Amino acid sequence: MSMLKCFFEIGGDKSVFEGLEISGEKELCEKYMGRFPVISITLKNISGLDHQEAYAALRRTIGTEARRFGCLQKSEKLDEGDRAIYQALTDIKDGKFTMADEVLADSLRTLSQLLAKHYGRKVILLIDEYDVPLDKAFQGGYYAEMVSLIRSIFGSALKTNPDLYFAVLTGCLRVAKESIFTGLNNLKTFSVTDYTCASSFGFMDREVKNLLSYYGFEDKYSAVKEWYDGYQFGETEVYCPWDVINYVDRLRDRESLEPQNYWVNTSGNDAVRYLIRQLGNGVLKSEIETLIAGDTIEKEIREDLTYNEIYSSVNNVWSLLFMTGYLTQRGSGEGKRRQLAIPNLEIRSIFTDQILELFQDTAARDGELLKEFCDALENGNGEKVERLQAV
């Protein structure tokens, strides 16, 4: 999303793209590069113990972005009323943004209108991790309040906004199916099962080889592939770019460094933890052992889930794990059924760590017993894992 912001935004640093393939698209760059006012927010930190705390976090996120456009305060193209509206978006008292709920509900549309009037150009809106507030609200017990607010904010900004050029949203669940988008029917959705743009969601094998070669780490290719490859979007296999970039960056400081788990720092692993806690189910035990051993299981995938449905059934959790990258596809079955697998060693380590954590909490604190369990888990000895779990 930061790349899109840098490319489209008026006053962006064009030198970032020098020497890259897109710089060869002269006509496209002339038409779009640095030509638009861009509103860019991430909702990954919108949470709270109740809806009032979450609303305050949302005020802070949108208010901080609005304050980035200080030029609106003195714009000759805005009248006093416009400047008063901008003031309502950005006012702070005692270190907190004070915008009223009704101002917050219309904030993104209001800001886009002011920017369009100032620049004489329609606005591009970027919203990263749009569904995190819904997840947090469900966990905190204020889902209905958050759905109502997000529906108002997004509805006014995306459905009835003549000053919007286009918007890009990212999230775990399909935007078209979430109740906050009721009535919004002009979305193009690209999910892990789609073929369009599949190669854009991660690094291709040739790109990883080029990256390693550039920094002189060709000998790390096999390790990088085992740890960070294995995701399948449509029919395209990709590496997780976050992991590859972080590992190569660390290698520049210490060439002997073994692959690390960088994913665990970006996710709470709640879905994996929930699934592991259900291991009293014999069938589920067998399925998780199958996955850890490197084989596949077949499950029906629902891409139309909303957050208040996810944990109503273990079957829904499989869909969440698939859509968030803890599992990937290795083929399709009938209808919506897909062959699922753990993509690589990094994700496998997350599953095993969660199982070990559960085992340590519930089993006797016996070092030899724990060692036996670890060995059985690593070697894919399902019979021994089940026996030791029952100890």
**Residue-wise pLDDT tens digits, 24-54:** 999 999 999 999 999 999 999 999 999 999 9
| Most confidently predicted of 8-17, 192-201, 307-316 | 8-17
Tell me the HSE value of 79 on the side-chain side, using a 13 A CA sphere: 1
Residue 340 forms beta bridges with which residues?
A: 297, 329
Where are the alpha helices (H) located in the chain, listed in sequence order?
2-8, 26-32, 51-67, 80-90, 101-105, 107-119, 132-140, 143-158, 205-215, 221-228, 241-251, 270-277, 282-292, 307-310, 314-323, 345-362, 367-378, 382-389
Sheet containing strand 164-169, edge to edge, reads 38-42, 123-128, 164-169
pLDDT at 281 over 50: yes
Contacts of 391 (CB under 8 A, 6+ apart): 363, 364, 369
pLDDT at 364 over 50: no
Helix (H, G, I), strand (E, B) or coil at 247: helix
Q: Please work out, in degrees rounded to the nearest 5, the angle formed at the alpha carbon of residue 162 by the alpha carbons of 159 and 167.
A: 60
Residue 41 forms beta bridges with which residues?
A: 127
pLDDT at 71 over 90: yes
For residue 131, what is the enclosing H or E element? none
Lowest mean pLDDT, pick from 45-54, 119-128, 382-391:
382-391
- Write down the pLDDT at residue 370: 57
